[in-house]
Chain A
Amino acid sequence: MPALKDEMLPIRADSDIVLVRQAARSWSIDAGFSLVEQTKMVTAASELARNTLVYGGGGTVRLEALEENGRRGLRLTFEDRGPGIPDLELALRDGFSTGTGLGLGLSGSRRLVNEFSIESQRGEGTRVVIARWR
Chain B
Amino acid sequence: MERIPILKMGDFLLVTIQVDMHDRLAMTLQDDLTERISRTGAHGVLIDISSLEIVDSFIGRMLANIAGMARVLDAATVVVGMQPAVAITLVELGLELPGVRTALDVDKGMRVLRHALGRPTPQEADAGAEG
A residues neighboring B (CB under 8 Å): 14-15, 17-18, 21-22, 25, 35-36, 38-40, 42-43, 46-47, 50, 94, 101-102, 104-105, 107-109, 111-112
Q: Do B53 and A39 touch across chains, with their CB atoms under 8 A apart?
A: yes
Residues in chain B near residue A40, CB distance under 8 A: 89, 92
How close is B94's CB to chain A, nearest CB, in angstroms? 5
Not counting A25-B53, A39-B85, a sample of 7 additional A-B residue pairs whose C-beta atoms are within 8 angstroms of each other reads A39-B54, A43-B89, A43-B93, A101-B57, A102-B60, A111-B94, A112-B92
B residues neighboring A (CB under 8 Å): 20-24, 53-58, 60-61, 83, 85-86, 88-89, 92-95
Residues in chain A near residue B58, CB distance under 8 A: 46, 50, 101
Residues in chain A near residue B83, CB distance under 8 A: 39
Q: Do B95 and A102 touch across chains, with their CB atoms under 8 A apart?
A: yes
Residues in chain B near residue A21, CB distance under 8 A: 20, 54
Residue from B53, B88, B93 with most neighbouring chain A CB atoms (10 Å): B93
Q: Do A46 and B22 touch across chains, with their CB atoms under 8 A apart?
A: no
Tell me the interface secondary structure of chain A in the complex. Answer: helix
Residue of B whose beta carbon sits closest to that of A40: B89
Residues in chain B near residue A111, CB distance under 8 A: 92-94
How close is A69's CB to chain B, nearest CB, in angstroms? 26
Residue of B whose beta carbon sits closest to that of A34: B85
Name A39's contact: one of B20, B61, B89, B95 (CB within 8 Å): B89
Q: Give CA–CA (A18, B54) in the complex, Å.
A: 11
Residue of B whose beta carbon sits closest to that of A108: B93
Q: Give CA–CA (A106, B57) in the complex, Å.
A: 11
Name B92's contact: one of A17, A47, A101, A108 (CB within 8 Å): A108
Q: Give CA–CA (A50, B56) in the complex, Å.
A: 10
Residues in chain B near residue A42, CB distance under 8 A: 53-54
With A15-B22, A43-B56, A107-B94 already in contact, the answer to whether A102 and B61 are too (CB < 8 A) is yes
Residue of B whose beta carbon sits closest to that of A112: B92
Residues in chain A near residue B95, CB distance under 8 A: 102, 104, 108
Q: Do B60 and A112 touch across chains, with their CB atoms under 8 A apart?
A: no
Q: Give CA–CA (A47, B105) in the complex, Å.
A: 27
Q: Do B24 and A43 touch across chains, with their CB atoms under 8 A apart?
A: no
Name B57's contact: one of A22, A38, A102 (CB within 8 Å): A102
Residues in chain A near residue B60, CB distance under 8 A: 102
Residues in chain A near residue B20, CB distance under 8 A: 18, 21-22
Name B88's contact: one of A14, A36, A46, A102 (CB within 8 Å): A36
